[in-house]
Amino acid sequence: MLGDQRYLFDVPRDVAYLNCAFFGPRLVAVTDAGRDAIDRTAKPWVISPADFFEPVEHLRSNVGALLGDDGEGVAIVPSISYGVAVAAANLAVGDGRSVVLLHEQFPSNVYPWRAKVAREGGAIVTVNRSADGWTAAILDAINERTRVVVVPHCHWTDGSVVDLVEVGRAARAVGAALVVDASQSFGAMPLDIKEIKPDFVASVGYKWQLGYYGLAYLWAADRHRSGQPLEEGWITRHEAEDFAGLVEYTDEYEPGARRFDMGERSNFIGVAMAVAATDQIREWGIGEIAETLREVTGRVADGAAQLGWEAAPENQRSPHLIGVRRMGGLPVGLAEALIAANVSVSIRGDSVRIAPHLHTTREDVDRLLTVLDAFS
C-alpha cells in the first residue's frame, strides 16, 4: 500500500478529482518536464540527432517494462484508434468469419473493425454482459468462426473487468487473435503480457498513464513485428540516426515493433512528459498502485451501497475504476450538483464513473458520497 501521494500531483485540496478515466491528474514532475522541453526546443541549435532517438527509447523501455516485457514490442503511436488500425491492418477476418466486440465498447475499438469487415467481408459479433460478468459472455461468443477478439481489460463505463488470460486461451483454441485496449487499465492494473499472450495491446498515454495527450502505445507480439505499418517514415528505417545518410534509401526497418511508430514520434515535449510519468509509475509499481486504489474504490462501493446505489460485484470490477448506478436511472440534477460541490467524475451511460488515483483522499470520497446521499 502506498501512502498519501497527493504532494506529487498538481490537484488543489478543494477539488475532489475522481476522473482519471477521463484525463489523468497532472504530476508536478510531468509539468516540469514539459516546461523544460518547451524551453529546450525554443533553442533548436541545442537539439542534436540523439535527441530524436534516446528519449523515445527510454519511453519505449519504460512501457515495455510496465507490460512485463522489454521494449522491443512497443511502438509509439498517436492514439488508440491508430494502434487498433495497425492491428486491423495486420489481421485477417474475411467472409464467414467474425470479430467479437463488447456492447458499448469504446468507439475507437469498433470503427476500425466495422470498416474492415465492410471492405473485406465478415461480421461483427457484439457481446452483452451477463449476470456473471463479461468474461463468461465473451467465452460463450467465441467459436470456430471467430478470427479476432477485441476487448478491453476493463470496461470504460464502469470498470467491470475482463479475464484476459481466460479470453486469450479461448481465442487461441479456435485460432483467433486477441487485441486488447488497455487504455483504462495500463498504469493502474497489472497486465501480464507473457500470461495473456495477446497479439496486440494498445493504450492511450494520458489517463492512468499520467502522460501527454497525443501519445499512445502499441505492443505487438513477436509474430506480428514484421507486419505492415500504416506509415512509411524515415525515422523507423535502419540507421536513421545518420542524418547525413538519409538519402541513401533503405527498405530495412529498425528491429522490433519500431516499424509501427508514427511519424514525428520524437515529439520532444510529449515524450519528455511521458518519460517523467512512466518513470514515476515504475517507481510506485503497478501492483502497489492497484492495491492502494482498491481500498479507495472499496470505500466508494460500500458507501454508495449504504445510500442505495449499486456497483458491480467486487469479483467483477477492477481495483481502480468503479461505476455506480441507481434503480430507475440517474436522477435529474446530479451532474450539476457534483460540479457545484467541486467533485469531478464522469457520467457514462447510466453510470456515475468514479476514477481515483494516488492523490485521492478520504475527504474526496466523503465529498462524493455527500452528493450521492442528497439524491438517494
The CATH number of the domain where 12 resides is what?
3.90.1150.10
Residues 6+ apart with CB under 8 A from 283: none
Together in a domain, 348 and 270: no
End of a domain among 230, 259, 283? Answer: 283
Together in a domain, 308 and 175: no
pLDDT at 195: 95
Distance between CA 214 and CA 80 in Å, rounded? 10
Q: Give the model confidence (pLDDT) of 231-276 as tens digits.
A: 999 999 999 999 999 999 999 999 999 999 999 999 999 999 999 9
Together in a domain, 146 and 231: yes
Phi, psi of 159 (to 5 degrees): 80, 5
pLDDT at 224 over 90: yes
- Domain containing 319: what range? 6-26+285-374
Q: How confident is the model at residue 87 (pLDDT cuts 50, 70, 90)?
A: very high
pLDDT at 80: 96
Average pLDDT, the chain: 96
Q: How confident is the model at residue 350 (pLDDT cuts 50, 70, 90)?
A: confident
Please choose, from the candidates 246, 292, 240, the residue with its C-alpha nearest in 3D space to the C-alpha of residue 266. Answer: 240
pLDDT at 3: 85
Together in a domain, 35 and 90: yes
pLDDT at 349: 83
Q: How many domains does the chain have?
A: 2
Sheet holding 200-204, edge to edge: 74-77, 216-220, 200-204, 177-181, 146-152, 98-102, 123-127
Section 31-36 average pLDDT: 98
pTM for this predicted structure: 0.95
Q: Give the model confidence (pLDDT) of 96-113 as tens digits.
A: 999 999 999 999 999 999
Please choose, from the candidates 138, 157, 152, the residue with its C-alpha nearest in 3D space to the C-alpha of residue 185. Answer: 152
Residue 1 lies in a domain: no
Together in a domain, 162 and 252: yes
Together in a domain, 14 and 37: no
pLDDT at 167: 98
Q: How confident is the model at residue 328 (pLDDT cuts 50, 70, 90)?
A: confident
